[in-house]
Every structure is written in C-alpha cells, then in structure tokens.
Structure 1
C-alpha cells in the first residue's frame, strides 16, 4: 500500500549512479561550491534508506534515525557497495533523492549520507532538503548570513510603508539583508498577510512593483512569506527583525505564529554546534559540514520516527 508520499521510484532515468559518491568525496568545510554539487547530485540520484524496522512495503517499515547536535537525521547509504561496507544487516529501501527530501524536511529531519564512512559521512540538514524538493535554483544557498539591512533605500522603504497601509491584506512588513554562500546578496522583505486569496496576493504584488520602481539601481529585492514555517529567512526575521510597518502597532500582541523552532545551525541555548558557525556570524541561517555520527548510530534502539511508514 502506498505511503503518504507515494511509491518510491527506482531512480531517475539517465542519472549517473556514480555522481553522488563523486560529489560526496569533494565536500569539505567551507567548500560551498562542492556542497552545492552534492545537493544537485542528490536531487538527480537515489539513495538506500536504512530501515530500522520491517521491510519495504510492510506496515511496520520505519527508517533508522540519529541525532547530531540536537537535530534528527535519517541515515542512508549511496550505493550497494556502501551498504555492504556499512555492515547494515537489516532491510533497506531504494528511493529517489527528491522524494526522500520532500518527505523528510516537512518533519524537520535531515538526511545523513554514509555515516559509517571514515570521518562520519556528510549530513544534509532539512533546510537543504527543502531546497531540493522545491528546486535548488529557487531558494538561496546556505549557510546564509542574515542581518539588518544597511542599504541606503529610504525612498523605497518609505513608499512601502506608506502604501502598505492602503493594502488591507498587509498586517506587517519586515526586512533582512541576505548573503547566500553562493550567489549575490539581496534585500528580503517579509510579508505578514491577513489572507492569501488571489485578490490579496495580486494587491501585494502590485505594491511591491510600485516600490521596486524607486529602489536603488542594482539592488536585488525578494519577498518572503512570514507564514512559511520552513523558510530560514522568515524564521530569522520572526525572531530578530522588528516590523518597519505594523498595522497593529500599539495593540496587545496576539502572536499569529507559534514559537520559532530551531533549524540546523541556529544557535540554541545550552546546545552549541561546534565548528559550524562562521566567523562574525553569531546567528547563521543554517550550517553544514562533516561531523562524526552519534556513537552507536546503527546499533542502539532509537525512538520511532513518525515519518515514512512503509508501503
């Protein structure tokens, strides 16, 4: 019986089975270009998910899981040869990189590739699995450096603030300066809306177009939905950026969103992440790197992961 994410395909036609392992060998700290190649190879390839319980297709089939620095990861291997090298004696499931990315990130679980390998393998945080599922070219490459904008765009902000009051769908506006690890920096405008009906979305789109017309030449501007509980820029703005337009300013706060959850690489009190923060970056969007797996990654019983229940 199909699980909630459908049948796992046998792999993408034409995908190079060795591309993922080649990309994996090139990943190193601060080599974000190599890490991007790994994400592209994962998106086009397939992995072998290690099943802690059951077998593919059985009602009790369940992935293994591991915890690294307070974040959950599902372990996988990249080829039958790596499966043999891992010594894994239980069942496994072959699934495409895109499908496992789409299923894991929604429960904020990452994917850990070849945890048995020397050095502990490589972890892909859920924030990057989200990028794979949505399209790597559509979302910025992390780790992101996020800060208050220092750009001289007063006319742009003034027009946004003034005309936002005339667009009834807008509750509040926030802003952040985003510097991806790969690509050019840009200004992000966080849109906190009362509704997302087609007329409301069109009114907000027109508002942004009018404002961008007076933005400084060469300034790249993007919008972020503050209601997106998986977007790292929206999460950062909710936690760190005060609105520069707030229709409900002065009213008792009601908290339209639940508390901001931690995401990979975010500083958490009492749970530092050694070696992942970049110099001068106290609150990164997320971070990556090779880390050794938790001791006994495949040998000790793990709490069940409420994700893929098998087929």
Structure 2
C-alpha cells in the first residue's frame, strides 16, 4: 500500500461532508462488508446500497478536513488506483492511522472519486485486506443504483430478431436531425434481466433534440417484440462503460453521414469527445475478469479489488 497525492492528482473539496442518509443504519455497511465474497453478486449489491446510504472515514495523507492542501491517501492494486477509507470509529482505531481523517457520505465520496477513475478501498487494514469498490460502481452510487445496471456486465452483439424495430429506428432516425448514428449491444447484468442497449450518438442535446429522440424511441419500442427490454445510452458519456464498449467494439447500424445524408445544417453546440478508455472485450468496467483473488497478501489472505468489469 502506498500513500501520496490525492486521488486524481489534485486537491479537491474535501471539507467536512454531510453524514449518511437520515435514519440509515450505521452498522449496515460493516454487516454488508462481512457478507461480500467472489461471485456473491447480490451481497455486493447490498454493500453498494449500504455505502450509498452510509458514510466512511477517509484517511488524509496530508492536511486536515477543509484545508486547501488536504489530500487523500491512495493505493494501487492490479494497476488501478483506490483511495483508502474505514467504515467506523472502531475500524479507524484498529487501523492505527495516526494522521487526520474526515467523515464523508458515501454518495459524496463516490461522486468525487469516479470522475477521475479512482475507486474506494474499504478497511484495507482488515484481515484479508478489505474490499475495493471500482470507480464504475462509485459512478452507479453517485447516479443512483437503480438507474444503472449491476456489473459485471457481459456485452455482445445482439442476436434478437427484431426487424420491425430496427427498420423503424433506421427509417425515422434520418428524420430526426439531432441523430448522427445509432449503435446496439446486448447487455447481461450480473443481477437483473438482460436487455438491448441502443447507443445514441447525437449532434446536440438541447431539450427539443432530446424530446425528438425520446419520441423516436417510443415509436420504435411500440413495434419491438413482446418482452424485449430496451434501454438507451448516450455515446458522448465518457464515463458510461456500455457506451465505451459500443464505440470500441461495434459499428453503427445507422450512420447519417455514411448514408450520404450529410450533417444537418444549422449551428450545433460541440459534442463532448468520446472517452479514451477502452474496456476489455466482453465486459465493461475498470478491470478484466477476475481469476481468483488479487493484490498483495496480508494476514495470510489477499485483498480483493471488488467485482471485475464494473
């Protein structure tokens, strides 16, 4: 374990943060942590929910809470960065940490870390080395766990037979001037049902454009096969691993400019550039599929960097 500059390389708004959700069980996070193990995806989901509703004690390598020079410690496991934290005053005492710390809500630290692709490592001093929560899962916590699918996700080209659905999308996409291209992927979450993801590559994201695309999707879903779940993904989102996988691994099934229609006339705000991160083939997230336990040994066991591909 190494500690140094703040996660992401810059000091941030590390002042005293609000506690967890009012009425949240203060012991829920530690109970959930004890249940987590490889392949126990439901237990890991419970851990994420407990972290979202709770709070953690962040270990400050430098400075004090609220000071301009406050910096979190950091760890590197299997080439990925994590900021260490403990889950209670008792765990803080057991860790032997002699420098400053701050208490921060799970949602706030998740929102702070994922944007620089840093994860959160819980109780690294514990027997077994604790548990790491990769940045893609922190993004789920920040955005709402019910809004983003539970990983690790297995991604592939869709094999579903939905000719009317795709034909309607292609035909009407040419009439919606905001649509540059459409991509697709079949998504199998670790928890929940598989679904078809449609990647939306848009020229603009103004309210009228978003409403036109929403109406397009509603018309297409009306002719989709019964029981087929469909979701949309913004291809411009550099933090959405499903969009990154589609950009890296698939070709558009509709491309306005390749079809010779050209870019629509009129002024459009610039579209954010795609993320530079290329996920592993078949899975999305910050780590390749795990083969057993990872990291350096501690107390005759090895620390576990959370579920892969999240």
Q: Same fold (TM over 0.5)?
A: yes
Deviation at 1:107, TM superposition (A): 1.1
* Gap change, CA 1:70 and 1:92, over 3 Å in 2: same
Which sections of structure 1, spanning at least 5 residues, go unmatched? 263-278
Deviation at 1:10, TM superposition (A): 3.3
Q: 2-side partners of 1:97 and 1:194: how far apart?
A: 35
Contact preservation (8 Å) 1:50, 1:90? yes
Deviation at 1:247, TM superposition (A): 1.2
Q: 1-side partners of 2:26 and 2:131: how far apart?
A: 18
Q: 2-side partners of 1:48 and 1:41: how far apart?
A: 14
For 1:159, which of 152, 162, 168 is the aligned residue?
168
Contact preservation (8 Å) 1:48, 1:93? yes
Contact preservation (8 Å) 1:66, 1:294? no
Q: 2-side partners of 1:283 and 1:130: how far apart?
A: 18
Q: Which whole-Å deviations, capped at 9, do the CAs of 1:208-260 have from their partners, x for residues lacking one?
A: 11111111010000000000111111011011011000112x99x99999999
Contact preservation (8 Å) 1:48, 1:92? yes
* Gap change, CA 1:90 and 1:255, over 3 Å in 2: farther
* Gap change, CA 1:227 and 1:59, over 3 Å in 2: same
Q: Which whole-Å deviations, capped at 9, do the CAs of 1:158-192 have from their partners, x for residues lacking one?
A: 11111111111100000000011111000000000
* Gap change, CA 1:234 and 1:211, over 3 Å in 2: same
* Gap change, CA 1:56 and 1:307, over 3 Å in 2: farther
Contact preservation (8 Å) 2:134, 2:306? no
Contact preservation (8 Å) 1:232, 1:285? no
Q: 1-side partners of 2:96 and 2:134: how far apart?
A: 24
Deviation at 1:16, TM superposition (A): 1.2
Q: 1-side partners of 2:142 and 2:14: how far apart?
A: 12
Q: 2-side partners of 1:255 and 1:299: how far apart?
A: 60
Question: What TM-score comes out, normalization by structure 1 length?
Answer: 0.79
Q: 2-side partners of 1:42 and 1:194: how far apart?
A: 37
Contact preservation (8 Å) 2:128, 2:300? no
Contact preservation (8 Å) 2:237, 2:275? no
Runs of 4+ in 1 over 6 A off after TM superposition: 253-262, 279-282, 288-311
Q: 2-side partners of 1:218 and 1:31: how far apart?
A: 27
Q: 1-side partners of 2:275 and 2:17: how far apart?
A: 42
Contact preservation (8 Å) 1:103, 1:308? no
Contact preservation (8 Å) 1:11, 1:45? yes
Q: 1-side partners of 2:256 and 2:121: how far apart?
A: 43
* Gap change, CA 1:310 and 1:290, over 3 Å in 2: closer
For 1:13, which of 22, 40, 65 is the aligned residue?
22
Q: What RMSD over aligned residues (CA atoms) do the two structures have, in Å?
A: 7.2
Contact preservation (8 Å) 1:174, 1:241? yes
Q: 1-side partners of 2:37 and 2:301: how far apart?
A: 29
